[in-house]
Structure 1
Amino acid sequence: MSELVRIAKIDEVEEGKGMVVEAGEKCLAVFKVEGAFHVIDNTCLHRGGPLGEGDVEGETVTCPWHGWEYNVKTGHCLNNPSSHVRTYPTVVEDGEVKADLA
């Protein structure tokens, strides 16, 4: 059975920016793009950089360490199309971003 976990308050996440959060035992990145929230694993597949600290342009976040790019909606890596970071179903409830981490 899945359980929604609080990720952040909606006003903590800026439009077009990322944010690193700890939820349970996971380190996640949360993004707000065109008013919608997206939660992905924070760790870049290349060298483990923090995706939540990367620059965001449209739906793409760039890892601040070596420039690998990911789609924040799908988790797909643009530098290595066979790879992706995990994405989590996300909802907004009572002014909070919540995700299903199961």
Structure 2
Amino acid sequence: MATFSEMINSDKPVLVDFFATWCGPCKTMAPILEEVKKKIGESASIIKVDVDINMEASAKYEIKGVPTLILFKNGKILWRMSGVVPGHIIEQAIRKNV
């Protein structure tokens, strides 16, 4: 399996969902992200990163609150948003950067 660094440095967009198991709004995001994945198919990857387990990545990207979504492509941050984000907004951000 690819490392986090390898995944975000891919030329395929990767949406990272920084979340925590104790976070209510994060649980709300799960079905939204599943729906987005169905719509975008293989054009982008969606991965979940638990901030309590992956503190290094959380610190590096200055995750202050969860959920925080960051869209990477070729290692660059293309889009970032915190809180519960509607699916169509996430889908738009991904499609714009495919």
TM-score (norm 2): 0.30
Greater helix percent: which structure?
2
TM-score (norm 1): 0.30
Greater strand percent: which structure?
1
